[in-house]
Amino acid sequence: MDHFDALRLFARVVERRSFTDAAVDLGLSRSTATETIRRLEARLGAKLLERTTRHVAPTLDGGQFYERCVAILADVEDAEATLRAGEPRGLLRVDAPGLLTRTFLLPALEAFLERHPKIDIQFGQSDRLVDLVREGVDCAIRVGEPADSNLTMRRLGALAEVTVASPAYLARHGTPRSIEELDGHLMVGFVSSRTAEMLPLEFTVDGRTREIMLPSRVTSNSADTNADLARLGFGLIQAPVYRFERELREGALVEVLPAYPPSPTTLSALFPKARQMAPRLRVFLDWAASTFRAL
């Protein structure tokens, strides 16, 4: 294994906190990974990693060396891409909500892969908080405004939102025609995984956003579960329009208060701040942004 491959391995071990996971990511055996790091430490004359039976972490020297490594590796990858006529390559790990991925990214993915034949993509499907570095993820696409200062954010677009309820719920509680008529209604409570607090409903009134917290008999921190609760008649819910397009079309859900729409929701890509952006990630984010702009 050459010197740059050893640096790539070391960086991946630090990020994954595991020799086994890093070896799998790079297509190596665990014994090869362990021996490569041993030789790297011997060549540098410094201990880079603290090892226990269940945990691997960088030493103080290892942490400083890691910061230099990721910068060097990004520069090398950028330079190689330039010499290859700008052809980015490698495996790109992207974490994004499943429905959003299936609705917007997958239908346009074939054209992206044809344009960049050296890039492979691995999708993770979630809307939870992800430790990008620890889990070996290149970027996460998230709905809303993440507040993690350890990550770099790039805005990809905005998604129109809608307020809906099931016909059965509206038959029991009535259909509100104004904000004032929300008194006596229920909402399906969504608990933020970031703040652990329930989020209010939002309505645009005279050009301003007005937040209203309605009672909730059932709450969840899962967007998919909340969508099911709305379909089953547990209350009003707000979500991006794309999530309920079929139900609205078929009448399984009904739009409520269309004259007072929720404010659009920001769609963002998050990636580790410590790294320079790899060419494969740069072209992917450019493509993703253009895909969402075309909505």
Q: In this structure, which topology does domain 3-83 adopt according to CATH?
A: Arc Repressor Mutant, subunit A (1.10.10)
- The domain 90-159+266-293 belongs to what CATH superfamily? Periplasmic binding protein-like II (3.40.190.10)
Q: What is the pLDDT of residue 261?
A: 95
Q: What is the pLDDT of residue 259?
A: 95
Q: Which of 62, 81, 72 is nearest to 4 (CA)?
A: 72
Could you tell me where in the chain the CATH 3.40.190.10 domains are found?
90-159+266-293, 161-263
Q: What is the pLDDT of residue 153?
A: 87
Q: What is the pLDDT of residue 166?
A: 97
Report residue 1 CA to chain centroid gap.
33
Q: What is the pLDDT of residue 57?
A: 87
Q: What is the pLDDT of residue 202?
A: 95
pLDDT digits (tens, 9 = 90+) for 139-180: 899 887 666 567 888 999 999 999 999 999 999 999 999 999
Q: Does domain 161-263 have CATH number 1.10.287.610?
A: no
The residues of the chain scoring below 50 in pLDDT are none
pLDDT digits (tens, 9 = 90+) for 182-202: 999 999 999 887 778 899 999
Q: What is the pLDDT of residue 26?
A: 87
Q: Which of 197, 188, 177 is nearest to 236 (CA)?
A: 188
Q: What is the pLDDT of residue 55?
A: 78
Rounded to whole angstroms, the Cα distance separating 257 from 201 reads 12
Contacts of 226 (CB under 8 A, 6+ apart): 188, 189, 190, 220, 237, 239
Q: What is the pLDDT of residue 72?
A: 82
